[in-house]
Amino acid sequence: DTAVSQTPKYLVTQMGNDKSIKCEQNLGHDTMYWYKQDSKKFLKIMFSYNNKELIINETVPNRFSPKSPDKAHLNLHINSLELGDSAVYFCASSQNSGGRTDTQYFGPGTRLTVL
Amino acid sequence: AQSVTQLGSHVSVSEGALVLLRCNYSSSVPPYLFWYVQYPNQGLQLLLKYTSAATLVKGINGFEAEFKKSETSFHLTKPSAHMRDAAEYFCAVTGKTDKLIFGTGTRLQVFP
């Protein structure tokens, strides 16, 4: 009965590789997000989607490409991985249109390590 | 632009002592404010949020926070700390945009 799930939990890969992280929510929410948490625990939004439509696209290298096949899924594909991409990536979802008061529900995170 | 500042990256308290985690915000419009908790190796969980109703907001696990516009603050408190409260706590704000802007976090340690 997990609300927001991510796979894989851990991802270790070499520089230059391409990898994907998957996210699914079973809460019936309309909006999904990707966040990056760096080694100092600082959390920053990367993208958000509302009903499969891109809403927020922060200043993120275009090696990062989100894909939302349906409103319950938001995947993150990363090309040509770099050392600086090492971080914990969190998926989140919220019920409505990502409004200012919406509560966001977070997944358990994916720890990406680039060697 | 919106921002939050969390004073003190680490806070240590004894079990049973008062917990006070500080958060100050900056926003050009009336803000909405959130406290999230992150237990080790887990995602974030909402503790409480201020959405312009009551200024004293009660959350889960005995936590509460008070919105003080004059001080631009939204400090988190709990009267009596438990060992299970040891975690990372994040203050966050939404202002003009829908984006949730997080502070840098405060690690709470609880000693027996």
Q: pLDDT tens-digit profile of B66-107?
A: 999 999 999 999 999 999 999 999 999 987 777 889 999 999
CB neighbour list of residue A16: distance below 8 Å, 6 or more residues apart: A80, A81
Instruction: Please report the DSSP string for A11-72 in residue order.
Output: EEE-TT--EEEEEEE-S--SEEEEEEE-TT--EEEEEEEETTEEEEE-S--TTEEEEEEETT
pLDDT in tens, B6-58: 999 999 999 999 999 999 999 888 889 999 999 988 889 999 999 887 899 99
Q: What is the pLDDT of residue A1?
A: 61
Residues A47-98: pLDDT tens digits? Answer: 998 888 888 888 889 999 999 999 899 999 999 999 999 999 999 999 877 5
Query: Residues 86 to 105 of B: which have CB under 8 A from any A CB?
Result: 88, 90, 94-95, 97-100, 102, 104-105
Task: Measure B53 CA to nearest chain A CA, in Å.
Answer: 12
Please report which confidence band the pLDDT of residue B2 belongs to, taking 50, 70 and 90 as the band edges. Answer: confident
The confidence score (pLDDT) of residue A98 equals: 59
- CB–CB contact B44 A106 (8 Å): yes
